[in-house]
Amino acid sequence: MSIMETYFKEKFPFSDDEIQLIFSYFKKVEIKKGAYFLEAGQYCKKIAFIEEGAVVFYQLIDGDEKSCGFTFENDWITQYKSLIQNITSELYIKALETTTLMEISLENMLELIAVLPKAIMLRTELAEEYFISSAQRASDLANLEAEEHYYKLIKDNPNLIHRVPQYYLASYLGIKPQSLSRIRAKS
Amino acid sequence: MSIMETYFKEKFPFSDDEIQLIFSYFKKVEIKKGAYFLEAGQYCKKIAFIEEGAVVFYQLIDGDEKSCGFTFENDWITQYKSLIQNITSELYIKALETTTLMEISLENMLELIAVLPKAIMLRTELAEEYFISSAQRASDLANLEAEEHYYKLIKDNPNLIHRVPQYYLASYLGIKPQSLSRIRAKS
C-alpha cells in the first residue's frame, strides 16, 4: 500500500473503489532539492500530497526569504489563497529535500468532486488543517517570547531542527538569525 | 430580505428553495453587550452568522485577555478547532455590542448536510475565510513592525478604531496597551 493510500484509509471514510477512483486523478511528481513547487507571481492550480520529503513556504520581503511554514511527508501542500481566490501567489513553495508528491490539478479536483461529491471532504480537510496551524502560529507569535516559541515549535515538530535551515526557522519565529543562534547556544 | 438572505444570495449558488430549507435550521439569538457566545472550557457546538453587532475572540493568559480576532456583522463566528476536533475551547467569544445572530447547532448543520449535501459549502467557506485571515495575521506579526501592522489593520478594517477597546487591539498586535497608545498619539 502506498503512503497516500494508508493516509486515506486512516483519515477518510472512502471505500476501496472510491479510493481507486480518487487516485486515478493524481499523478506522481518528483521535485529535486532547491526546486520549486510554486513561485510567487504564478497562479496555484494544484494540490499535492507529500509522500516523501519536505518543503518550505516563504515570501520574498526586501530581498529576504521570510518563511511562513514547513510541510513534511504525509501532509498536503498548496497555496490556498491563490487556489481559491484565483489570484497570483505571494509565496514560494520550495523543496528542502528531494520530494515525492502525488499531485492533482485544480481542474481534476473539481471534476472529481463533480463525479464523487463527497471528495469535497479533501478540500475541507485541507482548509481546516491550514486554519488550525496558522491560527496557532499567530497566537504563538503574539503571546510567546521568541525563546518559548522556539522550544514549543521544536517539541511539537522535531523535524524542524534537522531538516530546516536556521534562517527559515528564524523568520518563521519572526526573529533575526542571530537571535535564534543565541537561543540555540543556550540549550 | 434579511441580512443573511442577501449574504447568501451574493455568496452561494443556492436556489430560493434551498435557502428556505437552510434557513429553517437556523434560529435568531440576541446577545447583550459583554455576554458570551462561548466560554473557554465549553465545547463549541454551534456556528452563527452575525446580522448586527461585533464580537471579540480572546484567550485568558496569566489573567490577561489576549485577543486573537474580531468579527462584525455579515460574517460568521464559531470556535472552529473546538467544533471540528470535539475538544473544549481555549477561547472566549464575547459580544462587544448587543449582537444579533442567526445560529445553527452542529447537530442541525450535520442534518442539513445530510439532507442537502452541497450545504457543506458553508463549512468549507468558513474554514477558508478563517484560514486566510489567520495566515495574514501570522505573516503580519512575524514580518511587520507594530506600527506598520497597526496602520495596515485599521486601513483594512476601520471598524477596529471605534468598535474595539484598545487593550484588545494591543494584544491582537502582540504589544502592550502603552505601546499602542504611543503609536496612536503620533498619528
Residues of B with CB under 8 A from a CB of A: 59, 61, 66, 68, 80-81, 84, 117-118, 120, 123-124, 127-128, 130-132, 134-135, 137-139, 141-143, 171-174
Q: Which residues of B are less than 8 Å from A138 in CB distance?
A: 68, 134, 137-138, 141
Contact check, Cβ <8 Å, B68/A172: no
List, for residues A26-74, the tens digit of each pLDDT value: 999 999 999 999 999 999 999 999 999 999 999 999 999 999 999 999 9
Contact check, Cβ <8 Å, B171/A141: no
Measured in angstroms, the CA of A187 and the nearest CA of chain B are apart by 23
Cα(B78)–Cα(A128) distance, integer angstroms? 13
Contact check, Cβ <8 Å, B137/A138: yes
Cα(B89)–Cα(B44) distance, integer angstroms? 7
Measured in angstroms, the CA of B167 and the nearest CA of chain A are apart by 13
Q: Which residues of B are less than 8 Å from A86 in CB distance?
A: none
* B113: closest chain A residue by CA: A118
Contact check, Cβ <8 Å, A128/B127: yes
Among positive and negative, which fits the CA dihedral A137, A140, A146, A152?
negative
**What is the ipTM for the molecules in this complex?**
0.84
Question: Quick check: helix, strand or coil at residue A78?
Answer: coil
pLDDT bracket for residue B118 (50, 70, 90) = confident
DSSP 8-state symbol, A73: S
Smallest Cβ–Cβ distance between A174 and the set B80, B124, B142 belongs to B142
> Strands, E, within chain A: which ranges?
27-31, 36-38, 46-52, 54-61, 64-72, 75-77, 91-95, 99-105
Among the residue ranges A122-131, B37-46, B137-146, B168-177, the one predicted with the least confidence is A122-131
Identify the pLDDT of residue B129.
Answer: 86
Q: What is the dihedral of CA A94, A100, A105, A110, to 10 degrees?
A: -120
Identify the pLDDT of residue A124.
Answer: 82
List, for residues B75-117, the tens digit of each pLDDT value: 999 998 899 889 999 999 999 999 999 999 999 999 999 999 8
Cα(A12)–Cα(A126) distance, integer angstroms? 12
pTM: 0.87
Mean pLDDT computed over A3-31: 94
Q: Which residues of A are less than 8 Å from B174 in CB distance?
A: 141-143
* A60: closest chain B residue by CA: B143
Question: Which of B165, B116, B124, B146 has the alpha carbon at shortest distance from B18?
Answer: B116
Contact check, Cβ <8 Å, B141/A143: no
Contact check, Cβ <8 Å, A61/B143: yes
CATH 2.60.120.10 fits A3-118, yes or no: yes
Testing the interface with B: which of A76, A113, A118, A134 to mutate, by most B Cβ within 10 A? A134
Instruction: Say how many C-beta atoms besides its own lie within 10 A of residue B162's C-beta.
Output: 7
Percent of chain A with pLDDT over 90: 85
Output phi, psi for A101, to 5 deg.
-120, 150
Query: DSSP string spanning chain B?
Result: --HHHHHHHHH----HHHHHHHHTT-EEEEE-TT-EEE-TTSBP-EEEEEEE-EEEEEEEETTEEEEEEEEESSEEE--HHHHHHT-B-SEEEEESS-EEEEEEEHHHHHHHHHHSGGGHHHHHHHHHHHHHHHHHHHHHHHHS-HHHHHHHHHHH-THHHHHS-HHHHHHHTTS-HHHHHHHHHH-
DSSP 8-state symbol, A44: P
Mean pLDDT computed over A88-92: 97
Q: What angle do CA A77, B49, B23 make, to 5 degrees?
A: 105
* B134: closest chain A residue by CA: A135
